[in-house]
Amino acid sequence: MSDRLIQGMAANGDFRILAAQTTTTVETAREILDLSPVAADALGRALTGSVLLARLLDKDVRNQRVTLRFDGNGPLGLLIAEANVSGDARGYVSNPVPEDASIDVPRAIGQGMLTVVRGTPPVGRPYTSQMMLEGGGIAQELTRYLARSEQISSAVLLGVLNRREGVAASGGIIIQAFPHATEESRRIIEERIQSTPPLSTLIEKIPIEAVVAKVFEGLNYKQLDERFNVPVNYRCTCSRERAIAPLALFSPDELKEMVEEGGSEVVCQFCGRKYNFTREDLLALNASPDA
């Protein structure tokens, strides 16, 4: 079955549950971006987190997009994951193949800063918040972000499983406690989360619907109708117009140089698509070769 986000409630409506199966999406990212296993693990968790957050933080605005920017001093360098409410996700890792292949995700990202941008393109001012990375892993960083910046009490579970052939399983669950959730139900849910086996090993064997039903077994979990499912895909929103826009920032001299070389190629960092611009395209950017 294809990747999807599902929604539900647990403990008599005390908790909102969002869950996503993202195996194909993350495997696509691995292929496009040539990710090593640890890079696929890190970006897969971040992509899943961005898909879940885009839906969780949806304030009834169309087109909401969430960008997670992990800017750490670890060997992966900058890691970006971005998704919108329609389930389109894309990502980037500046150094996808670190020398030490054995390190875990927190060390591969390192110390630094997490920036979360919520935007509603093409209109509206994006909402940005930043916090220090504490090295506890992507799920823990996102839990802290939700508590601090969004005042949402939540638990975030994320997992990616790499096999020799590639990404065998990827997905995540966000459990949001509503303010009216009782102490007792919070304690029970917390215990359940603690005793849950690694999510990715479950996702490898059974569909996400069954994974969530198993995690919340006996806790009155109800999945919302399938109409509320969101298909999840690795899909880049780049375009020719957006690719040429940064070239307008070059000086007339620099553009002249590109024109003399016969044109310019721009490669999208998220999907690898190549955009070729001819002399005429560059000249149309107000560059005069005689300038």
Binding site for Zn ion (CB under 5 A): 236, 238, 268, 270-271, 273
Question: Nearer Cβ to Zn ion, position 31 or 204?
Answer: 31
Question: Nearer Cβ to Zn ion, position 37 or 91?
Answer: 91
Q: How far is the CB of 268 from Zn ion (least distance, A)?
A: 3
Q: How far is the CB of 270 from Zn ion (least distance, A)?
A: 4
Question: Nearer Cβ to Zn ion, position 9 or 238?
Answer: 238
Phi, then psi, of 128 in degrees rounded to 5: -115, 135
Question: Nearer Cβ to Zn ion, position 188 or 238?
Answer: 238
In whole angstroms, how far apart are CA 5 and each of 86, 95, 130, 240?
Answer: 10, 29, 26, 30
Q: How far is the CB of 12 from Zn ion (least distance, A)?
A: 44
Question: Nearer Cβ to Zn ion, position 234 or 270?
Answer: 270
Q: How far is the CB of 87 from Zn ion (least distance, A)?
A: 17
Spatial distance between the Cα atoms of 87 and 63, rounded to a whole number of angstroms = 10
CA dihedral 199, 205, 211, 215 (to 10 degrees): -60
Contact yes or no for 258/283 (Cβ under 8 A): no
Instruction: Tell me the two tokens of residue 24.
Output: 């194909």
- How far apart, in Å, do the first and last CA atoms of the chain sit? 57
Q: How far is the CB of 139 from Zn ion (least distance, A)?
A: 27
Spatial distance between the Cα atoms of 284 and 258, rounded to a whole number of angstroms = 13
Spatial distance between the Cα atoms of 5 and 89, rounded to a whole number of angstroms = 12
